[in-house]
Amino acid sequence: MPEPSRSFHDDVFRVDVDHRGQVAVVRLAGSANMDDSAGLKEELFELIDSPVERLVLDMTELDFLGSVGLGAIIAAHLQCRHANCSVHLVGPRPKVRELLQVTRLDKVFFIHESLDQALATA
């Protein structure tokens, strides 16, 4: 399915967290630009320390992911390995999915097509 054509400028980065038992669902939406996503790593680390068993990053509304945001997600993945939890990605859009493939991070993360699928994974 083609992505809708949207300007990055009107596309503020938003992070919303929803706790579901031991799972934290983090909805990432808009454009994760270099300055907007600067605090993302700390937010994810706080959730991991809360603690949680699984960190689910819902990317279905994420239009852009730059190096700072990508670095934050990878850092969270590494932190999770020390905390016995795991990072799961949900529904990355085609350009973000391509970025994960180019960097071969699609081999590192669990990637699910839907939130239900990610929540159902044991």
Q: Which residues bind another protein (CB under 8 A)?
A: 3, 5, 7-9, 33-35, 38, 64, 66-68, 71-72, 74-75, 77-78, 95, 99, 102-105, 107-108
* Crossing angle (nearest 10°) for helices 40-49 and 67-82: 20
The answer to whether the CB of 71 falls within 8 A of the CB of 38 is: no
Nearest distance in Å: CB 39, another protein:
12
Choice between 4 and 21, CB closer to another protein: 4
Choice between 8 and 116, CB closer to another protein: 8
Distance CA 67, CA 85 (A): 23
Distance CA 34, CA 116 (A): 30
Choice between 93 and 112, CB closer to another protein: 93
